């Protein structure tokens, strides 16, 4: 059994930890209210803008606009939105697991280096296995410091990095990420862009979600009615898309970042609440052990006194 001094030291340590986790829980709850309001306010605008562009996708494909062009998918860019800080339970772990599953699935679809596809020469097969020529390839764009650190440790095929989002994702940050993705898609460096983030439903309910970002209209929203056959556009298709596409990209990315931020604070509040409860249970156990040890020491002292008194008689 631990000594009384050790138990008192552990009780002080657990008490300090409990105070810290309780304070972090309260701070996370305050930040969650602000992040939740921001995430919920962003959704209607992003959804309306996305629906408007999806309804014009058929017309845009007739004009062969690159952002609406359906292609053979050779390279997919997966944008992973993680947190900058830890102590948020399994928030980042769930995202990392989803990315690892996607990378493993992509690796299973690709032959090993040097393996020759049916009817292909061995030399060309080695190049295809190493660089993915003619084969589906998955590259990762990480957003957030935790994702960047994990991706470097695990050796993910990184296409880009965006770290240190700050307390709240800003419009400038969302536009910078979206602009980089638009440029890579238009230059045919990637053929499809997906966003992997944690969608916020409530403080206790979150879900890892993967949405298609580009091309626009590749996966229309469920339940959306098809547009009429002849659509009159004023002042013109090019002018409309020139105004809407930057807004769409920024708004869609900002909505995903806001959802991820609210989910992060909800996960942190839940994790710190559980840590506070665990610290309280551990504190009760330590106090009980301390009281038992003190009682045992007092009993021994009384027995020593009684024994000495009996000896003097």
Active site residues: 88
Q: Which two tokens stand for residue 113?
A: 């280096």
Q: Residue 235: exposed, middle, or buried by beta-carbon count in 10 A (0-12, 13-18, 19+)?
A: exposed
Task: Work out whether strand 75-81 and strand 137-143 pair parallel, antiparallel, or are unpaired.
Answer: parallel
CA distance 139 to 74: 11
Map residue 80 onto helix, strand or coil: strand
What is the side-by-side order of every strand in the sheet holding 137-143?
158-162, 137-143, 75-81, 192-202, 205-214
User: Look-up: residue for tokens 């990095």?
Assistant: 161
Task: Work out whether strand 158-162 and strand 137-143 pair parallel, antiparallel, or are unpaired.
Answer: parallel
Q: Are 89 and 192 in contact (CB under 8 A)?
A: no
């Amino acid at each position: 059994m631990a000594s009384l001094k050790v138990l008192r030291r552990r009780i002080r340590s657990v008490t300090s930890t409990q105070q810290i986790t309780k304070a972090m829980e309260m701070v996370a709850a305050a930040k969650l209210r602000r992040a939740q309001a921001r995430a919920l306010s962003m959704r209607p605008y992003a959804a309306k803008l996305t629906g408007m562009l999806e309804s014009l996708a058929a017309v845009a494909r007739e004009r062969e606009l690159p952002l609406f062009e359906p292609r053979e998918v050779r390279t997919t860019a997966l944008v992973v939105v993680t947190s900058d800080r830890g102590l948020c339970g399994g928030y980042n772990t769930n995202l990392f697991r989803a990315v690892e599953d996607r990378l493993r699935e992509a690796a299973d679809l690709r032959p090993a280096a040097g393996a020759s596809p049916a009817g292909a020469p061995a030399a060309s097969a080695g190049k295809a296995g190493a660089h993915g020529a003619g084969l589906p390839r998955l590259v990762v764009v990480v957003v957030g410091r935790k994702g960047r650190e994990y991706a470097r440790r695990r050796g993910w095929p990184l296409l880009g990095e965006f770290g240190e989002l700050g307390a709240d994702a800003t419009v400038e940050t969302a536009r910078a990420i979206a602009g980089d993705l638009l440029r890579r898609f238009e230059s045919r460096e990637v053929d499809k862009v997906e966003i992997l983030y944690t969608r916020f439903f409530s403080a206790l309910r979150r879900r890892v979600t993967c949405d298609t970002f580009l091309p626009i209209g590749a996966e229309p929203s469920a339940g959306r009615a098809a547009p009429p056959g002849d659509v009159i556009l004023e002042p013109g298709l090019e002018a409309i898309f020139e105004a809407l596409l930057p807004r769409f990209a920024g708004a869609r990315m900002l909505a995903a970042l806001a959802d991820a931020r609210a989910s992060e604070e909800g996960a942190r509040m839940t994790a710190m609440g559980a840590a506070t409860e665990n610290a309280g249970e551990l504190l009760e156990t330590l106090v009980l052990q301390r009281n038992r040890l003190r009682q045992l020491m007092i009993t021994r002292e009384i027995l020593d006194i009684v024994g000495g008194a009996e000896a003097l008689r």
